[in-house]
Chain A
Amino acid sequence: MGAEFPPKEPSPKIVIVDESPIRAAILEEGLREAGFTGVVHISEMQSLLQRIYALDPDVILIDLENPSRDILEQMFQVSRAVRRPIAMFVDQSDAASIQASVDAGVSAYIVDGLKKERVKPILDLCVSRFNAFAKLQDELDRAKSALEDRKVIDRAKGILMKLKGLTEDEAYVLLRSTAMREKKKISEIAQSILTASELLK
């Protein structure tokens, strides 16, 4: 559906509270592309409420890994610290969208009075960008761990070549056959060789 606002309605002011600068940038970019121009990112959690009040946003998006989420819950109260109560995006009928946002790891807080139709595209975009980021992170982690594995295997091969007078190919075959026999990963066998050689030094 995208951001089909009547032309006269100004873009709502959106604050992103996220300590991950990359994820915040991905989300911010997505929101801008969709025509939401007033987007501000807060990465510093000190005096969070004061910062938010100074910005006076219509929508606040926060990642669920952030302990400061509980601070935002305070905005529904009236007290000296909170002069202007804010409602949460609570739509009892829309369990699916709440589920989707929690699954993606993001939560939205909305100023009272902002129409549901205006919030929905923001939340949807937020969910898809958070999911995209999680996928990216996952791929990055996997690539990193593959690289680590390769380093460990190379070092284990070196040890085998030296101790048993094997060629590189023979060392690898030995690692692989041992891994198959013990139903373990090659990198695990390689790691135990490194550990053993440390101990026997």
Chain B
Amino acid sequence: MSRALHIGFIPLIDAAALIVAVDKGFAKAEGLDVTLAREVSWSNVRDKLNIGLFDAAHLLAPVAIASSLGVGHVKVPIVAPLNLGLNGNAITASPELHAAILHELEGDRFDPMATARALARVVAARRRSGAEPLTFGMTFPFSTHNYQLRFWMAAGGVDPDEDVRMVVLPPPYMVESLASKQVDAFCVGDPWNSIAVDRGVGCILHFASDILLRAAEKVLAVRQSWAERNREVLAALIRAAFHAAEFSGQPENRAEVAHILAHPDRIGVHPDVIERTLAGRLNISADGTVRESRNYLLIGRDGAARPDPVQAAWLYAQMARWKQTSLSRAALDAAMAVFRPDLYDAALGRSAAAGALESTEQIGAFAGPTFDPGDLQTYLAAFGKPESTKG
């Protein structure tokens, strides 16, 4: 008899492993009868997972950590035994802001330090002329998008809490908000960056992989209590998602995966946009300029699926850096314990040593010292408080 599971997801391309697991039969092969529920907000996904309406979810990695720590919301310990995707975000700016940054640019346009410094000059010029502060959209307070934008601009000397406005926007509203000038730029996963470019209302300024080489993005999340009571089922779910992720990561399967994801009940956008994203080949401006990077979105390759507690530590460090929580050893340990490579290895029948070989433990940030989870205080002190661009 197959086991019925309810799994929530947000229509984004990094939900691919779950959608393909269900629609291509990987879940069924593991004896799982999965019903996917498309949700409209991360708050809903979190709450429905927390109270048990969902058995598992496609979740922002920082939300899994915040929920486990009880930061910003009810404390419900979550475990993440598999990464659904690494990277996959981009920073897209309005054509006006994009041009202003390029105008101030000294150096390579894909060098995030050069663009961040250029942004600082744009911000300073706007203040001198009495213009409104720039507004940046991101998807959730506890999101990689929030931390990636902040990390980037702070490196150039822009204080994200003082010099600009950071606002939460649901991904489906991003493009419209950029078009109507409610925001000047945003950081979001795809398809939304590509849709903004295709509509001629935005230019992709950075792939988030310019900022961090490897960043845990969405995880397969389950309640810790559920994981303990349903070990076999969870192992089956990990295997189904793993095989679906591997399938999705193969270049020869891209067209089929794009077709599956494009279905109106799943992501509901044109398969071409999805295929471009899976290939890491994006149009970055309306004139048809294409940029390609194999690091743009990592699903099912380069050891992307195995959760790495160092990634959890980095995200926790960002929460502390931006005053969402305070720094403590106990909280750091709890954050790192959310990411469970042991469950991943066990489900796939691998030894821990073999599993560890699969991961390349690095964050690869473009600024600051090498990340050391053993000494967050020193790591964070290296960034200091960003020098405000105020005169």
**Chain A contacts to B: CB under 8 angstroms:** 45-47, 49, 64-74, 76-81, 88, 90, 92, 95, 98-99, 102-103, 107
User: Contacts A70-B41, A71-B168: A79 and B74 contacting too (C-beta < 8 A)?
Assistant: no
Give min CB distance, B320 to chain A, whole Å.
14
> Which one of B72, B139, B164, B170 contacts A68 once the chains associate, using CB atoms below 8 Å?
B170
Give min CB distance, A131 to chain B, whole Å.
16
> Which one of B40, B53, B165 contacts A66 once the chains associate, using CB atoms below 8 Å?
B40
* Cβ B44 vs Cβ A69 within 8 A: yes
* Cβ A47 vs Cβ B139 within 8 A: no
B173, CB-defined interface residue at 8 Å: yes
Cα separation A74 to B138 with both chains bound (whole Å): 10
Specify which chain B residues have a CB less than 8 angstroms from the CB of A103 in the assembled complex.
Answer: 53
* Cβ A73 vs Cβ B51 within 8 A: no
User: Contacts A64-B44, A80-B162, A102-B47: A70 and B170 contacting too (C-beta < 8 A)?
Assistant: yes
Give min CB distance, B181 to chain A, whole Å.
11
Specify which chain B residues have a CB less than 8 angstroms from the CB of A70 in the assembled complex.
Answer: 41-43, 139-140, 168-170
* Cβ A79 vs Cβ B44 within 8 A: no
Cα separation A73 to B45 with both chains bound (whole Å): 13
> Which one of A47, A72, A80, A90 contacts B74 once the chains associate, using CB atoms below 8 Å?
A90
Cα separation A66 to B43 with both chains bound (whole Å): 10
Specify which chain B residues have a CB less than 8 angstroms from the CB of A92 in the assembled complex.
Answer: 74-75
Contact with A along B346-383 (1 / 0, CB 8 A): 00000000000000000000000000000000000000
* Cβ A79 vs Cβ B168 within 8 A: no
The chain B residue sitting closest to A98, CB to CB, is B51
Specify which chain B residues have a CB less than 8 angstroms from the CB of A95 in the assembled complex.
Answer: 51
User: Contacts A49-B167, A79-B166, A99-B51: A73 and B140 contacting too (C-beta < 8 A)?
Assistant: yes
Give min CB distance, A48 to chain B, whole Å.
10
Give min CB distance, A37 to chain B, whole Å.
29
B141, CB-defined interface residue at 8 Å: yes
Q: Which 9 A-B pairs have the closest CB atoms?
A: A67-B170, A74-B168, A67-B40, A69-B41, A81-B165, A70-B41, A79-B161, A69-B43, A81-B167
